[in-house]
Structure 1
Amino acid sequence: MEAADLDVLAAALHWLDAGHAGVLVTVVRTWGSSPRPPGALMAIRADGVVTGSVSGGCIEDELIARVRDDGLAALCPAGLPAVATYGVSAEEAQRFGLPCGGTLQLVLEPLGERSRLAELIALLRERRATRRELDLSTGAVSLRTAALPGDDADTAGLHDAATALPDALAFDGRSLAHTLGPRLRLIVIGAGQLSRYLCTVATGLGFDITVCDPREEYRADWQVPGVTLSFDMPDDVVIAARPDERTAVVALTHDPKLDDLALIDALRSPAFYVGALGSRANNARRRERLATHFGLTDAELARLRGPAGLYIGSRTPPEIALSILAEIVAVKNGVPLAPQLAVGPAKSAREADGAAANEPGVGAGCGIG
């Protein structure tokens, strides 16, 4: 699940604990183009305060107006879950800002003890994928740990199935089943300047971030709000984290003593992304070390993205951070990346073109490719 959706659940629980009534809104179906995908969450309080979103804003405004005029009962008559559909006609789609004739369907669920938000949030914070099932006729909720393909008895439910859960949401008009996974994690090896820029942007993307660096001279003045800084050896941090399919690991130190062992553990885990900074030559030597001295298989080495990042001509630390995060997000979203988009192949192709044109200096830069 996205961090923003976990924030919605946490805010809704806070409202309940403070004595406020509220409604949880879930996008369950979309037709055509729509601003938010199925599974997106929003909560609205009895005074019209909202958190999260289900559209570009117009549907939120309409729900707020209904609550302020007629109370939460306007959304959930008889205190039971209800279904609302927006954008059925072209006129209504335009009114609610739904592009290209889009239509979306919402389930509106009154919140209370039977919502079981505290239990759900606790499971998600333990990194357990959880199936939440809502009976629309009664408002009752059941929770169960989601067993995933390939899980065994000891690991079932402890991690998500890649970044997109199988059967993440199912709605048949009578019940809503929503599989929610834990937050995306990012483990960063190295607390240098590049790491600072990368983590600053990654926090805005909703990653749960840990930076590990045992070198005192690098970590002494390193701080990014919301990021956990570990002084342990990177391989110990990776082993303790037990990377799952919602974990990315990126090594940024250029130091084999710090990077290599951590990369070995990451490449042998289900982590959806494993990358390493460094020039093409350094990455070639790294692959040779990992194969020759540590016995990594061709399949495991094929998972290593190095030089990490997409080729955008980056030269400065902020640009390199953007390049790496763009690749991580693309992999997370399941976007197929052509080889020429990666830093290494793109630089090689550019150098070949430059050599053919007798262009001096092509391929010069900060040494990440």
Structure 2
Amino acid sequence: MQSSDWEVLQRARDWLDQGYGAHLFTVIQTWGSAPRLPGAILVVREDGHLVGSVSGGCIEDDLADKARHQQLPARPAIMEYGVNQAEAQRFGIPCGGQLKIFAEPLTQTAQLAPMLESLSQRRLLKRSVHLHSGEVRHQYVLPEGQPYLESDWFHSYFGPQWRLLIIGANQLGSVLAAMAQALDFHVMICDPREEMRAEWHVEGADWLPGMPDDVVLEMAPDPHTAIVAVTHDPKLDDMALLEALKSDAFYIGALGSVKNQEKRKQRLRSFDLTEQEVNRLHGPVGLRISSRTPAEIAVSILAELIQERAQLQQTGLVSRVHRLAMA
């Protein structure tokens, strides 16, 4: 499964190859209860066809109408919506929310190539566009944060899709894998038990053969990776956690009660993990919502992942090594 950004940009490239013109829209900043975060993208074709999203729908409709009537800017520009209560209600932005959007004409596929390449290679690309000249600069960078305006330049980022590695192909693992894909996670599953592999039927999730610790090492978790152990078997879960807690994964969680988590942390301390690394473990995994069934537990886990991911998107991703260096 590709990221939603990749699918939007790939579709835009197809349109440009077919001879259509289009515009790329990126959310710069939001206030109030705007529905999309900075960095969300939308591409609108010259005849009003669109892919992606920058709001709940009404702004997309307005941009599509402007495209059909050739009213979109001919060079990079900033567009604002919801600047007053009447406009907020017209465009379906609740509670007086506001959006500032960067609009950029697309005329050739070369404009999209660096972004698609960065997504495919799991490298973070900083894309800078000059408002007046339309000049574009690209630079691979360490995680920095949200899109922003700097004088006459607009800076945005394109990079790795969020990944979720699930240790355990049980019922909870199956439900979690299915739900996570709808949240734009590339889902991978690891379980060395042959009987579990034989009964795995979730489409779209990549099966990674091997022992959990080897799989974690081979995939080289980065700050866009989450790892959740749900086998409830310490022999399997702890193997994955020993390597995961030393990685750059932004989230590491394990199923189990408070009492079992304390026992697990004591076991982990007996290996070569620091106290700081052990304390990175989210356990019991998920938000406390009184969940009981596999589906409810999956919701609680994904709710915590969404929360952690949103915080990182708001403040900027910082790798574990970089963070420790600044401590």
TM range (shorter): 0.7 to 0.9
Does 1:59 pair with 2:36? Answer: no
- Tell me how large the CA RMSD over aligned residues is: 2.1
Q: Residue in 1 aligned with 2:123?
A: 128
Aligned ranges 1:18-167 → 2 under 5 Å: 18-68=18-68, 70-71=69-70, 74-77=71-74, 80-113=75-108, 116-146=111-141, 148=142, 161=143, 165-166=144-145
Report the Cα distance in structure 1 between the residues aligned to 2:159 and 2:194, rounded to whole angstroms: 35
Report the Cα distance in structure 2 between the residues aligned to 1:30 and 1:257, rounded to whole angstroms: 46
TM-score, reference length from structure 2: 0.88
Residues 140-188 of structure 1, C-alpha deviation per residue, up to 9 Å, x if partnerless?
Answer: 3221101x3xxxxxxxxxxxx4xxx43x212246221112331111011
Report the Cα distance in structure 1 between the residues aligned to 2:288 and 2:31, rounded to whole angstroms: 35
Q: Residue in 1 aligned with 2:299?
A: 322
The worse-fitting range, judged by mean Cα deviation, of 193-202 and 219-228 is: 219-228
Residues 35-65 of structure 1, C-alpha deviation per residue, up to 9 Å, x if partnerless?
Answer: 2232221100122111112222222111112
Report the Cα distance in structure 1 between the residues aligned to 2:87 and 2:243, rounded to whole angstroms: 53
Report the Cα distance in structure 1 between the residues aligned to 2:116 and 2:188, rounded to whole angstroms: 20
Residues 281, 37 of structure 1: alpha-carbon distance in 2 compared, 3 angstrom cutoff: closer
Report the Cα distance in structure 2 between the residues aligned to 1:117 and 1:191, rounded to whole angstroms: 38
Decide whether the 8 Å contact of 2:253 with 2:282 is kept in 1. Answer: yes
Does 1:303 pair with 2:280? Answer: yes
Structure 2, unmatched stretches of 5+, are: 313-327
Does 1:181 pair with 2:178? Answer: no
SS at match of 1:333: helix
Decide whether the 8 Å contact of 1:115 with 1:140 is kept in 2. Answer: no
Q: Write the letter of the residue equivalent to 1:302.
A: N
Decide whether the 8 Å contact of 1:40 with 1:54 is kept in 2. Answer: yes
Does 1:268 pair with 2:246? Answer: yes
**Aligned length, in residue pairs:** 311
The worse-fitting range, judged by mean Cα deviation, of 92-101 and 214-223 is: 92-101
Q: Write the letter of the residue equivalent to 1:234.
A: P
Decide whether the 8 Å contact of 2:36 with 2:55 is kept in 1. Answer: yes
Decide whether the 8 Å contact of 2:167 with 2:231 is kept in 1. Answer: yes
Report the Cα distance in structure 2 between the residues aligned to 1:89 and 1:225, rounded to whole angstroms: 45
Report the Cα distance in structure 2 between the residues aligned to 1:266 and 1:212, rounded to whole angstroms: 13
Residues 54-99 of structure 1, C-alpha deviation per residue, up to 9 Å, x if partnerless?
Answer: 222222111112222x23xx2023xx22332223333222222222
Decide whether the 8 Å contact of 1:44 with 1:64 is kept in 2. Answer: yes
Q: Identical aligned pairs, as a percentage?
A: 48
Q: Write the letter of the residue equivalent to 2:275.
A: D
Q: Write the letter of the residue equivalent to 1:190.
A: G
Residues 233, 145 of structure 1: alpha-carbon distance in 2 compared, 3 angstrom cutoff: same
| TM-fit CA distance, 1:119 | 2.1
Decide whether the 8 Å contact of 1:75 with 1:82 is kept in 2. Answer: no
Q: Write the letter of the residue equivalent to 1:273.
A: Y
Report the Cα distance in structure 1 between the residues aligned to 2:81 and 2:118, rounded to whole angstroms: 32
SS at match of 2:311: coil
Report the Cα distance in structure 1 between the residues aligned to 2:311 and 2:81, rounded to whole angstroms: 29
Does 1:191 pair with 2:186? Answer: no
